[in-house]
């Protein structure tokens, strides 16, 4: 028996490759499937099944491309309806992989079609369970993503029943392999590890420690923030189908000269200029109107949250990073890249084209400016809970995930001196680029973000106890 977790940090997503006796299965594949086919080829195995735990909302799955390439059937759990050929398994149905079996456990709650897959060894004993978004390390799947008319409380009740019936009854030694790790928005507070055991979760997972169904529903549904807007788009794409990834790459790998790029910028569909370089390079200089989302951070997640899906995209990247930029956008269903700037930003400057920049300042400069500038406003783009746990006194909390709506900036005035920060410096540059696009140019990006600000003795900081309690 061979099991490999294939973890993608920028999406906090885990796919799985399981193999025994020359037969393999893949669970919850990402859209770029080469890693699974290469692994099967290296190990001289045949991919026999493609298992999906549910319709994923936070990424576009690779099930269709993998099925097209391998001929393996796509397996979903009971009550699933797809717009493409798939096999709908029954609760308790088993599939053979070499001398091992994979058993379907229908676990509705996160979504109605959610399932877990229990892997039994050659002796028929439970070895591990692939829990999808039903059970995470220290958390459970959020029950507010149903596309139907069910309430979060109704789905949470289903989730409680599923866990009681199929998960808590498993032996304590059974390994838990979830679909997501820390940072994912599919749970409220997922722990730092990417695997665990049933026994460990029975002892430490707040949801599994609930004594009654009513208590479980309460603790699971309280404190849920709004899910990212693109979640519902991705869930629909996974249900209805999509274009092959190679087609998306081919359409996007058009190298535009500076003049061609300028012409395409003026197209009637008002394309997005997306700059995927690191934040230091971007603040030093960029094409006016560009949105920064760097490949070195949670690139696909922020792109899905902030970019309009109906618009075409023009890329500015480090040379050689063009295809990676396209593929990682496609992971969240952003398929409309039409080309990139040949030679990158250097080609733009060498051609004498207009540029813009963002001024970076150290936290100590903020400390020096606060007492003497009555038009200074600190803009904190962290999440509400991060802000509540400590922030600059009188700072405006403008969470980055809300800035895809220009109306979110209505409280800002053009003559204010905006000092923007996040936790460490990545999100603040994204926010600064969005503010620049909306005509706010009198701004500064605070290097090191809150991590550096809270070290400054001359800056008054406070907490929001009403949010934390």
Q: Which residue has the tokens 């309806």?
A: 81
- The pLDDT value recorded for residue 358 is 98
Residue 395 lies in a domain: yes
- Tell me if the pTM is above 0.85: yes
Do 187 and 279 lie in one domain? The reply is no
d(CA 264, CA 252): 13
What number is the average pLDDT over the span 424-430? 97
- The pLDDT value recorded for residue 267 is 86
User: Percent of the chain at pLDDT above 90?
Assistant: 92
- What DSSP designation does 31 have? S
Residues 6+ apart with CB under 8 A from 156: 109, 143, 216, 217, 220, 221
C-alpha distances out from residue 141 to 80, 133, 146, 151, 181, Å = 18, 5, 12, 15, 11
- The pLDDT value recorded for residue 458 is 87
Residue 338 lies in a domain: yes
Do 41 and 126 lie in one domain? The reply is yes
pLDDT at 468 over 60: no
pLDDT in tens, 214-266: 999 999 999 888 888 899 999 999 999 999 999 999 999 999 999 999 999 99
| CATH classification at residue 15 | 3.60.15.10
pLDDT in tens, 306-316: 999 999 999 99
Determine the 3-state secondary structure of 321 from DSSP.
coil
- The pLDDT value recorded for residue 149 is 79
Residue 214 lies in a domain: yes
C-alpha distances out from residue 267 to 50, 160, 214, 263, 272, Å = 41, 52, 55, 7, 11
pLDDT in tens, 414-425: 899 999 999 999
pLDDT in tens, 76-118: 999 899 999 999 999 999 999 999 999 999 999 999 999 999 9
| CATH classification at residue 409 | 3.40.250.10
- The pLDDT value recorded for residue 423 is 97
pLDDT at 163 over 70: yes
What number is the average pLDDT over the span 358-382? 96
Do 98 and 15 lie in one domain? The reply is yes
- The pLDDT value recorded for residue 226 is 83
Whose CA is closest to 5, among 27, 33, 31, 38?
27
Phi/psi of residue 136, nearest 5 degrees: -115, 180
Domain boundary among 326, 350, 374: 350
**Is 446 in contact with 363 (CB distance < 8 Å)?**
yes
- The pLDDT value recorded for residue 408 is 87
Phi-psi region of 22 (alpha: psi -120 to 50; beta: other; left: phi over 0): left
Alpha helices in 182-316 (DSSP H): 198-204, 213-221, 230-240, 245-252, 258-265, 279-284, 299-306
Do 333 and 252 lie in one domain? The reply is yes
pLDDT level of residue 384 (50, 70, 90 thresholds): very high
- CA 422 centroid distance within chain: 18
Do 265 and 161 lie in one domain? The reply is no
As a residue count, the chain comes to 469
- The pLDDT value recorded for residue 234 is 95
Do 212 and 287 lie in one domain? The reply is no
Domain boundary among 300, 329, 350: 350
pLDDT at 127 over 80: yes
Do 338 and 255 lie in one domain? The reply is yes
Residue 251 lies in a domain: yes
What number is the average pLDDT over the span 147-161? 90
Domain boundary among 202, 232, 262: 232
pLDDT at 71 over 50: yes
pLDDT at 154 over 50: yes
Number of domains in the chain: 3
Do 291 and 338 lie in one domain? The reply is yes
Do 393 and 417 lie in one domain? The reply is yes
Do 436 and 399 lie in one domain? The reply is yes
CB atoms within 10 A of CB 439: 10
- The pLDDT value recorded for residue 406 is 76
C-alpha distances out from residue 375 to 227, 281, 414, 456, Å = 34, 28, 10, 21
Q: Which domain holds residue 454?
A: 359-468
Which of these ranges, 125-134, 159-168, 456-465, has the smallest mean pLDDT?
A: 456-465
What number is the average pLDDT over the span 444-450? 98
- The pLDDT value recorded for residue 469 is 47
Do 12 and 111 lie in one domain? The reply is yes
- The pLDDT value recorded for residue 466 is 64
pLDDT at 465 over 80: no
What number is the average pLDDT over the span 154-178? 97
Residue 238 lies in a domain: no
Residue 9 lies in a domain: yes
Residue 237 lies in a domain: no
Which of these ranges, 171-175, 356-360, 402-406, has the smallest mean pLDDT?
A: 402-406
pLDDT in tens, 191-211: 999 999 999 999 999 999 999
d(CA 456, CA 33): 47
Do 226 and 161 lie in one domain? The reply is yes
């Amino acid at each position: 028996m061979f099991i490999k977790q294939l973890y993608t940090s920028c999406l906090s997503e885990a796919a799985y490759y399981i193999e025994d006796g020359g037969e393999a299965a893949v669970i919850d594949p990402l859209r770029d499937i080469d890693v699974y086919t290469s692994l099967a080829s290296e190990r001289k195995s045949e991919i026999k099944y493609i298992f999906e735990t549910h319709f994923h909302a936070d990424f576009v799955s690779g099930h269709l491309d993998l099925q097209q390439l391998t001929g393996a059937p796509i397996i979903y759990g009971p009550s699933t309806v797809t717009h493409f050929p798939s096999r709908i398994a029954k609760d308790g149905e088993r599939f053979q992989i070499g001398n091992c079996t994979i058993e379907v456990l229908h676990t509705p709650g996160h979504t109605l079609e959610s399932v877990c897959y229990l892997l039994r060894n050659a002796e028929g004993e439970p070895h591990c369970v692939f829990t999808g978004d039903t059970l995470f390390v220290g958390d459970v799947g959020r029950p507010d993503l149903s596309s139907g008319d069910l309430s979060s409380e109704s789905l949470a009740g289903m989730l409680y029943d599923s866990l009681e019936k199929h998960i808590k009854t498993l032996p304590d030694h059974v390994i838990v392999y979830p679909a997501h790790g820390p940072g994912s928005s599919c749970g409220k507070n997922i722990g730092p590890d990417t695997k665990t055991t049933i026994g460990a979760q029975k002892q430490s997972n707040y949801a599994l420690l609930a004594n009654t169904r009513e208590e479980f529903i309460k603790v699971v549904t309280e404190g849920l923030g709004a899910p990212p807007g693109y979640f519902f788009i991705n869930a629909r794409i996974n249900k209805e189908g999509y274009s092959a990834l190679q087609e998306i790459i081919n359409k996007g790998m058009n190298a535009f000269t500076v003049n061609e790029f300028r012409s395409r910028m003026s197209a009637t569909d008002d394309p997005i200029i997306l700059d995927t370089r690191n934040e230091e390079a971007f603040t030093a200089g960029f094409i006016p109107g560009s949105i920064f989302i760097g490949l070195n951070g949670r690139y696909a997640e922020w792109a899905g949250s902030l970019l309009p899906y109906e618009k075409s995209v023009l890329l500015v990247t480090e040379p050689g990073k063009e295809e990676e930029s396209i593929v990682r956008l496609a992971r969240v269903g952003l398929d409309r890249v039409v080309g990139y700037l040949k030679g990158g930003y250097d080609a733009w400057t060498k051609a004498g084209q207009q540029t813009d920049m963002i001024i970076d300042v150290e936290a100590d400069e903020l400390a020096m400016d606060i007492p003497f500038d009555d038009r200074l406003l600190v803009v904190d783009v962290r999440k509400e809970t991060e802000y509540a746990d400590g922030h600059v006194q009188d700072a405006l909390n403008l969470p980055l995930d809300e800035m895809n709506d220009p109306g979110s900036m209505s409280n800002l005035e053009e003559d204010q001196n905006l000092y923007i920060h996040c936790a460490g410096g990545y999100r603040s540059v994204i926010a600064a680029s969005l503010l620049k696009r909306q005509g706010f140019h009198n701004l500064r990006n605070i290097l090191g973000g809150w991590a550096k600000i809270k070290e400054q003795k001359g800056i008054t900081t406070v907490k929001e106890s009403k949010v934390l309690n």
